[in-house]
Amino acid sequence: MTPIHTYILGIESSCDDTAAAVIKNGSILSNVVATQSIHKEYGGVVPELASRAHQQNIVPVVQLALQKANIDKKQLNAIAFTRGPGLMGSLLVGTSFAKSLAMGLEVPLIEVNHMQAHILAHFIKTDEQSIPTFPFLAMTISGGHTQIVKVTDYFQMEVIGQTLDDAVGEAFDKSAKLLGLPYPGGPLIDQYASLGNPKAFLFPKPKVGPLDFSFSGLKTAVLYFIEKNSKDNPEFIKENLNDICASLQFTIVDYLMDKVKNAVKQTKIKTVAIGGGVSANSGIRKALQETESNLGWKVHIPKFEYCTDNAAMIAIVGELKYQQKLFASNDVVAKARMKY
């Protein structure tokens, strides 16, 4: 029999954030994230260093999540963990830890697909937000993915458009690097953009299929733009940082909006949800809110803490799978590449 209260621990370690969260009946009791600052000095995530940092962080992060949820580990009904996609060395830490804990506590183990979790984060109960109704379109925009997904049920997802090269988060981060900003540059571009003129400079929008994305051309365009202007004026970036960031963000957001509008037109589904780190971007949040009122869409934007990598999203998937008894066997292995 299913217990009245289900406490599920979610563990996330797919990239450079070690995270743990406890969920009780759809509500998050704790959501702890240890972001690894070590990667800043390298300008990107170094996989070997990420897995070492996960090793250090995993025990204190899980302990803190249990403490903040005010429960003992013996009260947990199941352990959910990110199986993939992600960096293998990072995934192995969360996977091994989750397997051992589930075995020790004699509770079910639940595997979670990280990308599904970014989408299903919308089903976490919050005071401010309503949950999406099926079917809906999800645009997953992160450092590793850029996809438009048709969601017909919790675990029925079909990718209908995706990037052919870089992910949108990479476009933000690589452009930021060219501007001399530290990693991850996405949030910094967002900050500077709020102070600049979005029409100051023109960047190209790459032409691919109506639902597909391409960002590698934009990175090259930014490189040439900086080289050309810095030749005439070595202080060009410094003097124009806000305007460059605002123009870049404007181009990227406009491009994302073009694609999601095409997807709505093609599928006739007007419920749109976003997920992944880049959904924290103020430009895309504003553009979607404006479209909601202009075109009569129903838009779902996650709370900030559920946008970037977190374990609350792993815990909600854990709960949804727990209800359906979708348990993993103890010989489950981490997977760097995983489909929906």
Interface ranges with ligand KG4 (CB under 6 A): 15, 142-144, 169, 172-173, 184, 186-187, 190, 276-278, 280-281, 308-309
**Alpha carbons 23 and 318: distance in angstroms, whole number:** 9
Other CB atoms within a 10 A radius of the CB of residue 48 amount to: 10
Q: Name which of ligand KG4, Zn ion, none residue 186 binds, using a CB cut-off of 5 to 8 Å depending on partner kind.
A: ligand KG4
- Asked if the bond preceding 204 is cis, omega within 30° of 0, the reply is no
Give least dist CB 34 to Zn ion, A: 15
Q: Name which of ligand KG4, Zn ion, none residue 12 binds, using a CB cut-off of 5 to 8 Å depending on partner kind.
A: none
Residue 275 contacts residue 302 (beta carbons within 8 Å): yes
Interacting residue ranges for Zn ion, rule: CB under 5 A = 142, 309
Give least dist CB 183 to ligand KG4, A: 8
Query: 3-class SS at 308?
Result: coil
Give least dist CB 42 to ligand KG4, A: 15
Q: Which of 119, 209, 221 is nearest to 164 (CA)?
A: 209
Q: Name which of ligand KG4, Zn ion, none residue 308 binds, using a CB cut-off of 5 to 8 Å depending on partner kind.
A: ligand KG4
Give least dist CB 17 to ligand KG4, A: 7
Give least dist CB 117 to ligand KG4, A: 10
**Alpha carbons 119 and 285: distance in angstroms, whole number:** 16
Give least dist CB 168 to ligand KG4, A: 8
Choose between 75 and 281: whose C-beta lies nearer to ligand KG4: 281
Choose between 245 and 278: whose C-beta lies nearer to Zn ion: 278
Choose between 87 and 102: whose C-beta lies nearer to ligand KG4: 87
Q: Report in angstroms the alpha-carbon separations of 281 from 129, 194, 209, 252, 274.
A: 18, 11, 24, 11, 11
Residue 8 contacts residue 76 (beta carbons within 8 Å): yes
Choose between 161 and 184: whose C-beta lies nearer to ligand KG4: 184
Choose between 89 and 184: whose C-beta lies nearer to ligand KG4: 184
Residue 185 contacts residue 173 (beta carbons within 8 Å): yes
- Residue 150 has φ and ψ, to the nearest 5°, of -90, 120
What is the widest separation between alpha-carbon atoms in the chain? 73
Q: What is the dihedral of CA 236, 238, 239, 245, to 10 degrees?
A: 90
Choose between 109 and 278: whose C-beta lies nearer to Zn ion: 278
Give least dist CB 325 to ligand KG4, A: 28
Choose between 87 and 101: whose C-beta lies nearer to Zn ion: 87
Q: Name which of ligand KG4, Zn ion, none residue 187 binds, using a CB cut-off of 5 to 8 Å depending on partner kind.
A: ligand KG4
Q: Name which of ligand KG4, Zn ion, none residue 281 binds, using a CB cut-off of 5 to 8 Å depending on partner kind.
A: ligand KG4
Sheet bearing 156-162, strands edge to edge: 156-162, 146-153, 136-141, 271-275, 298-300
